Structure formats: structure tokens, C-alpha cells
Structure 1
Amino acid sequence: MDWVTPLSPDGGPRYLQIADLLEQAISEGTLHPGDRLPPQRLLAEALGVDLTTVTRGYDEARLRRLLEAYGHRGTYVSAPPGELTQWVDLSMNIPPAPAQVDLSTLLKQGLSHLATRSDVNLLMTYHIGGGSPTDRLAAAQWLSPMFESVETSRIVICPGAQAALAAAILTLTQPGDTVLAESLVYPGLRTAVQQLGRRIEPVSGDEAGMLPDALERACREYGARLVYINPTLQNPSARTIPSDRRRDIVEAAARADATIIEDDPYWLFADNAPAPLATLAPDRVFYISTLSKCLSPGLRTAFVVLPDAAIEDRFLSAMRSFALMAMPLATALVTLWIQDGSAQALLAGVQAETRARQQLAAHIFPNPERSTRRQGIHIWHSLPNHWEARDLARAARADGLAVTPPDAFYLGPGKPPSAIRVSLGGGRDRNQLSTALRNLAALLASKPAERTEVVI
């Protein structure tokens, strides 16, 4: 019973804590498939709870497919389901499903509320504006941790961050113009820039982020007036730009008369995150906050804080050229969830699950020199000398794992860093993620197989 630790008085329902203890012990390898669990009465005495609580905890663990009961023979840790050995996607950056929040129930309740208390015809027709006053007020409430206050007239509701990025690029640049970014950058930006007939060029940086002097030089060299920055738990490096560097970047952009797109999807995962650049220079920054990375991609909702309410018509006109509107039903659901607290409860569940998965990753990849900070929904893992990133990605795929090599993010110059991004939200649960990460760790520790030619 080494896996048994005291329950927390503030940790939620005790039966769920018991199921979480079991899941954590299985993920960390303290309990193994086939291990017999202690009798429920013995566990109840050890934890100081009643027998019914332990029974409910075991039932919950069985629902999570962690345990199997065999009557008088006892209860045993389940063997991993077959799909664990088939395919686990560690390449897609999505928030993990929270263990203690029933998203299905939230969705059913929210849609039922909208169907009975809203005008369904309004939910199913065109909404070509940037959100109703109620929607914008809810967005301002959601953004309050980042901004002490923000005028609702500056907020626009968009169908996801990618649409917001493309609309901002169309609004602020002309074909052939250059957009500046760090050498490691979100791949969706590069796609948008290229598809819209613009150019993208890297700006030098260090461990604290983009270098202000290099930014000014690049603005002069390329005649660039638009800069993209992902400042908090950056994708893929997981680095957060500190406050003083943010201030220097904003001042450098002002001297170069450049506008900044601040793409900030991970701010709510960071401990003591610095204030956004948009709070330092609100008239120079397009701030984008998406719910896809902190709640659910299916909501397809992002909030944009414009540098000036007067630019809204141009921005919405640009967005309507490829995405007419944010989906009214999704926007209404998001607004309802923010108003009734469901969005905050879901966020708390995702944050808790993210911390647990980061702890799991830290246990499996303990070397801090190879894996980046233990926050957010991905890690950036440096490769041992015997692996090339592309070879490792191919070998992982052959083992049923998908990871993202660095050339997906790298703008240059020179060779990309020898590292991979490992996303932690793709596993169905921690048990599946643990198996996938352990398989990846074993692959990293092994040597690449020699290629052989088949001659017939």
C-alpha cells in the first residue's frame, strides 16, 4: 500500500481522490497490471473514510478502466487496453480532457439551456458582427485575469485564433509585405503568411525571447511593420518572455512604428505569468486569446482585443473574406458558460489535469536540461546525440506514436535545434499517456536501427 497517501480536505469528493490515487500510482508505475488491490475495508481504515467511499472510489476507477473485479478473488489493476499499443497522438497541441469535470454533462446542460431559453432562430442565422454586447461583456470577464479591465468596444469574437491571425495579417499588411517572428514559430502563422502572399522572416533571440535591437534592425532591413509574438509558454519552446524583455520589445516596436500580434493561448497555464504586451502598449498590439488551447478546440472561439475600436470594421471585413462569422451557437454556449461559471470550472479541471500530466512527464523525463518547463500542454525535449529529429519522428510513428520534429516550427537561419515537441493532451487519460511517454523514453534511450537495402 505504498501508493496510499492521505486525502486532501480541499481536494474534492473523497471517492474521486481515491480513484485519482489509483490512476497516479498506475501512471507512475507504483502499481502494475495484475497487481491485487487491498481489501476495501483495509483501505478505508488506512484513509480514515467509510467503506462506501472506498467502494465508490473503486467503482470510479473501474469506469476509467483502471481496475477489474473478480468477486471473492479480489480487485486487480487492469491490463492496458489494446489501443495503448496502437496509436497515441503526441503531435497535436490540445488541452487534456479533465478527469473531474464531465464535459458531456456540461455540453448537454448548456445546449438544453440555450434551446429552451434562447431564440433558436437567432442562433441559427447569420451574425456578421464581432459579437453582441452580451458576448463581448462575457469575453471581457474571461480576459480579466490578463487585463485589469478592457473596453468591450475593443473586443471582437472570432471563429478561432487561426482566423484571427489571418484577418490581422490582411488588415495590417499588403501582398509582398514581411511579417517578423522568432526563429521558432507556431506553424499556423507561417501557413497564413504564405497563403496570403506575404513573407515571413526570423528575428534573432536568446533564452529570454526576441532581441529588441534585432527587431529594430529587421524592421529597417525588410521594411516590416508587423511582428508576431507568442510570449507565454511559447509554442514550441515553452519559454515565457519576462516582463522587462516584454517592455523592451514594445519600445523597440514603437521606435520602428511596428504593430505586434500577440498570440497568447497559454497564459492561463503559466504560474505568475507576466502581464501581456497589450497592457504595456494597448494602441500597438492585437491581442488574441483562444479557448481552443485551454478549454476545447470544438468551441472554435477566440477573443481579440483590438488596438483601437476604429479598426474593427476593417478587421471584420478582412475576416469575412474567408470566415463569414463566428458560429452563433458556439458563441452563445461560450457566453453562457462564462456567465454561469461552467467555463471557469472546466478551465480549473483542465489546469489540474495539465499539472498532473506535466508531473507525469517530469517523472518519465527527469532531466531538466533536456525537457523544458513543467507548465502548459506540451514539452520541448532535446534529443540525445544518436538521434536526428526526423529519424526519431519516423521511428516513433512506427511504434504508434506521433511527435512533432523541429522543422515544422523553424524559420532559420541554419539547422533547426535537435528537439521534438511532445504534446500532453492527446492521450485519452493519464494511463494511456504514461504508456506512450514511457515508450517514447525507451525509444530515445535506444540507438536508431541501421537501414538495410533489400536486393532482389
Structure 2
Amino acid sequence: MNKTPVHWTKKLQKSDKPAYLSIADLIADDVRTGRLVARDRLPTLRELAEDLQLNYTTVARGYSEARKRGLIDTHAGMGTFIRGRSPSLPLRGGSAAEMTMNLPPEPQDPALLAHMHDTAAGVLASADLYALLRYQDFGGTLHDREVAAQWLRRRLPTCRVEQVLVCPGIHSVLTALFSQLARPGELVCVEALTYPGVKAIAAQLGIQLHALPLDDDGPSAEAFEHACKTLHPKALYCNPTLLNPTTATVSRSRREALADVALRYAIPIIEDDAYAMLPRELPPAMATLAPGLTYYITGFSKCFGAGLRNAYVCSPGDRQSQRLAGAMRATTVMASPFTNALASFWVEDGTAEAMLNAIRDECTARQAIAERYLAPYGMLGHPESFHLWLPVAEGWSPVELAAHLRSQGVGVVASAAFSTDGDPPDAVRICLGGPTTLDECERGMHLVADTLLHPVHHHATNL
């Protein structure tokens, strides 16, 4: 922006609001419509005051209000710029370097593995193979959806089969929901640190992400309400349990506050509860606090194995479930009947529960190892999580540290991959899962601790 837009002056003259609020609204409108994009430079305070025929203090308050809304950043000696939104820091071409996947551990339990082999073979041996090779109605058979509802009732006691769909993975559900709830250029509220796949989905669909600041209780309800008043988001996306990447869980009081805001402004909630089955104790799901607005999603990729591409989604009602089924059908046709049959059988015969317990135990053992080595460096973890969040001290940048540790076989992702506000903290996410054994996990944590203890030496030989 080289000069103040003419329409700003006209809208200011017609507005009944205080001028400083109108300035922030005008910036928000131009960002939403694409007139202003990330890194556009705004006029100086004096230039804008002169162009709009306002006093300097009013314009300063307007910029301050826009800054509070997360619309702009000011850098001393450089000026005031539009803040990036979707995504703030792009993934490097979707490369594997920034998309290290967060895999659950693979428990080395011979009896459990033998049982899984036997039951998987039994499912195929007893199945009508031609039935599994045919097209099916999207959302799974009635039996698959009944099993899904049974699994979901752990978190949603009143979940009905008519609200449930069986889908090919959580990511596919998120893509369908984002495309259904928001159009290109429209806005969805997310945590300031969030699942990188959401950034990729938003970028692909042209949807803007509005970052909500995080504190110990979760995303700010005040910031969410402010966004509802001023930016009119189309949905709230949240990962409330063992947040990827920080392992934080949104408190009950914050869930209630966010649900209250969503209810008052009629904003749909996308509750991505991929890790919800891991902790034995949790606050109530947001879907129980705002059932008429919330799409609740969970699956087996984080509590069984990423290859079991089954997600279960409970929509707010029957009509919303039917609409989502249409959107999913258009993009994925259907979930694999083979995978559905296997997942349903394992839920019914208790294998899913046994695997979940084994993964919990493995997580606890690995987190104990990590804490022994990384507690002095301020690591954040949870006994039933298979990732942790590690602040990075001076001597390394998060990107350099992540690249170095990955080259040594430790699954690490820099904070930039998760950031939606353009200001990632100096930290990395470390995955403790995958096919590694406990001994390999310990060697990895020893390597991380040694790297942090001798940053200059490792940095000198890095990359």
C-alpha cells in the first residue's frame, strides 16, 4: 500500500463508530477481501493522520487496536506491515523435512502381535471378499457406524449412529469440513501452534487462519470472542487434547469459555481429538459443551497405528452428517471396506483396547526416559503422550537443531512448521514413537541432551 485508499476516507465519514475502531475494521476488511496481503506496508502514523484528517493519537490508537487483533506488526525503523495469516510460515513445499510425522510407538508385545496377525487373517478368511471389493455408501455400513458410535461414546456418551461417519483418516475429514464451512478468503480460528496439516489444507483451499494466543489453559477465549466480533470467522478449529506439538491439554474452564463464545456467535467447532484416547483422565469433550455446533473427530492413527486409516466423526446432527457425507464422497469416494472391517472387528473383540493400553504403557516408559535426559532443558511432556516440546536455548536455531537431530535418526520438527501467527517460539517437537525400541529411544534422548550441552561443537559440524 503506497497511499491511503480512497474508500477508507469515505467509510470513515459514514461510520458511527469511534475513528480508531473504524481504522482497525478497515484494515480487517481489506485483509479479508485480499486488498491487503501479508507483508504489505501501511502508511506511517503521520501520513495516515494527514490523509484521513485525523489527529495523530486517534490513528495511533487505530493501529494499536489492529495490532491487538493480530492484523499488523510494527518493526522499529522499518514501518508497519500486514501480518501473515494462511499459513504464516509456509511448509517448505510440503517436503518431508518439515513434515516428520508423529507416529505412535510400536509395542514389542509378541502375544499381542500374534493375536493381531491371527485376527486380521480371520477377518479376511470369513469375509465376503466381493462385498469388500464393491462400492459402499459413504460413511461405512450400518455395522461399521454402530461400532464407531460405541468407540466414540467413551468421549461422547449420547452419540447416536445417525450422527456418525466412518472416514478414511482424520486429515480427509478436516479437508472436507474446511471446504464446507469456509470459502476462499474466509477465515477459520486456530491455535497459534497447531497441526501442520491444517496449514496445508488452508493454503490449498485459500482459507485464512487466524491465530489465537495460547496460555497454560489453552487458546484465548477473549481473543476468540474478539475475532467473532470483528473478523467473523467461519469456524474454530482446535486440537484440545495433547496438542500437537506442545502436549498441552485445554482445561475444563477454557473449554467451557470457548464453547460459550461459539454458542453466542453460532460459530461451528471442529474438535480434532486425535490423541483423546491416550490419556486416562480428561476434561469433557467440547462436543458435550456445544453439541449443536461441534464436529468431533478421532481415529486410530495416534492410538493404534497410522496405517489403520480410519477416522470417526460425530456431526452436530443428522442433517450436518448427511452434508458432510456428501462433501467427503466428492473428495474420497469412500473409506476402504477392508480397513473398516478390520477396525470394526478389533474394536469389538477388544484388540483396539489392548493395543491402546500397550501404547499408553510404552508412552509412559519413553516419557520417563526423555524426562531423565531433558528435564534440565525445560521439556514439556505428558506420561501418555508420544511427543514432547523442547525449548531451544542459545547456540542453535530450531530449524538447524531439528535438521541436525533428524540426520542422527531422531524425529524432530522445528516450531515454524506449527506456527500460525508468524512468530514461532524457539522450540522443537520431538517424536518418541515409531518403530524404535526403548534402548534406541534412550540413545536418542542422550544424543539430544549431549547436543544441547555442547551446541558450539555440534553447530560447527552441522549440515
The normalised TM-score by structure 1 is 0.76
Give distance in 2, aligned partners of 1:156 and 1:204: 32
Equivalent residue number for residue 448 of structure 1: 456
Equivalent residue number for residue 276 of structure 1: 285
Q: 1:111 aligned to 113, 120, 130, which one?
A: 120
Q: 1:132 aligned to 129, 135, 141, which one?
A: 141
Equivalent residue number for residue 350 of structure 2: 341
Give distance in 1, aligned partners of 2:347 and 2:195: 28
Equivalent residue number for residue 418 of structure 1: 426
Equivalent residue number for residue 403 of structure 2: 394
Equivalent residue number for residue 187 of structure 1: 196
SS of structure 2 residue aligned to 1:365: helix
Higher relative contact order (CA 8 A, sep 6+): 1
Give distance in 1, aligned partners of 2:198 and 2:391: 23
TM-aligned CA deviation for residue 452 of structure 1: 8.0
Q: Which runs of 5+ in 1 are unaligned?
A: 1-88
TM-aligned CA deviation for residue 186 of structure 1: 0.4
TM-aligned CA deviation for residue 144 of structure 1: 2.5
Q: Conserved in 2, the CA contact under 8 Å of 1:140 and 1:149? A: no
TM-aligned CA deviation for residue 128 of structure 1: 3.2
TM-aligned CA deviation for residue 386 of structure 1: 2.3
Does 1:433 pair with 2:430?
no
Does 1:223 pair with 2:232?
yes
Equivalent residue number for residue 32 of structure 2: none
Q: Conserved in 2, the CA contact under 8 Å of 1:90 and 1:422? A: no
Aligned partner letter, 2:148:
A
Percent of matched pairs sharing the same residue:
32
Equivalent residue number for residue 251 of structure 2: 242
TM-aligned CA deviation for residue 371 of structure 1: 3.0
Once superposed, what is the RMSD of the aligned Cα atoms? 2.1
Q: Counterparts in 2 of 1:351-430, with a 5 A limit? A: 351-367=360-376, 369-413=378-422, 415-430=423-438
Q: Conserved in 1, the CA contact under 8 Å of 2:411 and 2:431? A: no
Give distance in 1, aligned partners of 2:110 and 2:333: 33
Aligned length: 364
TM-aligned CA deviation for residue 293 of structure 1: 0.4
SS of structure 2 residue aligned to 1:181: strand
Give distance in 2, aligned partners of 1:235 and 1:180: 16
TM-aligned CA deviation for residue 365 of structure 1: 1.6
SS of structure 2 residue aligned to 1:366: helix
The normalised TM-score by structure 2 is 0.75
**Is the alpha carbon distance of 1:262 and 1:101 closer, same or farther for their aligned partners in structure 2, counting shifts above 3 Å?**
farther
SS of structure 2 residue aligned to 1:448: helix
Give distance in 2, aligned partners of 1:283 and 1:154: 11
Equivalent residue number for residue 61 of structure 2: none
Aligned partner letter, 1:93:
N
**Is the alpha carbon distance of 1:121 and 1:231 closer, same or farther for their aligned partners in structure 2, counting shifts above 3 Å?**
same
Give distance in 1, aligned partners of 2:369 and 2:358: 17
TM-aligned CA deviation for residue 220 of structure 1: 2.8
Give distance in 2, aligned partners of 1:102 and 1:257: 50
SS of structure 2 residue aligned to 1:401: coil
Q: 2:219 aligned to 193, 210, 222, which one?
A: 210
Q: Conserved in 1, the CA contact under 8 Å of 2:395 and 2:459? A: no
Aligned partner letter, 1:338:
V
1:217-249 CA distance string (max 9 Å, x none):
112332212010111110111111111110110
**Is the alpha carbon distance of 1:398 and 1:360 closer, same or farther for their aligned partners in structure 2, counting shifts above 3 Å?**
same
